[in-house]
Chains A and B, each alone.
Chain A
Amino acid sequence: MDGPPRSGGTHVIGVGDPVPDLVLIDHDGAPWHVSEHRGRPVVLVLHRHLA
């Protein structure tokens, strides 16, 4: 199987790759890290927009 696609110089991750520990902001304004949830499966539903 081919590796994950790359676009515009941005590495796009695929199955088996570690998810980068990007900082997201939760609904209370607190930082949220994927790494803080190691040990449990995490499901992220990336929404399109707030409609």
Chain B
Amino acid sequence: MAAVRDHHDRFADAHVAVVTFAGGVMPAAAYRRHLGLDEIDVPVLVDPDRAMYRALGASRGSLRRVWSPGTLAMYARLLRAGRRLQRSDEDTRQLGADVVIDRRGRVHRLWLPDGPDRRPPVSELVDAVAELGRG
């Protein structure tokens, strides 16, 4: 998420939003401030029924995949970088997704990582937006 914040200006005229399915541990507005997304006007959207997750095919991962050595190494990197992680009582097996939607509302690119450590680099998202050109 920090990468999205740090490279937000590279998304040109795209509307960027972070979607989550829960707000139990931290309300969405507080989470937005926590990530510094309020400073760049990126909204945090809540999808309580995970309808968008299901529509895009973002599944739940196995415990082995979600807590793989790669995932643990990723969290270790975040901690070393000063990120404060919080205990979550939410569904930690729910996998994420990244989607770029074109100007007509159609899926242009879709990433469905099979583990938390397999998210695409922000440069791929930026490149996908660039493929759509300027409006």
Contact = CB atoms under 8 A, between A and B. Distances in A.
Interface in A1-51: 4-5, 7, 10-22, 24-28, 32, 34-35, 37-51
A33 B18 CA distance: 14
The SS class assigned to the A binding surface is loop
A24 B107 CA distance: 17
Interface residues of B, number: 67
A14 B111 CA distance: 10
A16 B43 contact: no
Interface string B8-38: 0001111111111111111111011000000
Given A11-B55, A41-B15, A49-B92, 18 more contacts: A12-B55, A15-B107, A18-B106, A19-B99, A19-B106, A19-B107, A22-B47, A34-B105, A44-B17, A45-B17, A46-B19, A46-B53, A47-B96, A49-B22, A50-B20, A50-B88, A50-B90, A51-B25
Interface of B: 1, 4, 11-29, 31-32, 43-48, 51-59, 85-88, 90-92, 94-110, 116, 125, 129, 132, 135
Interface of A: 4-5, 7, 10-22, 24-28, 32, 34-35, 37-51
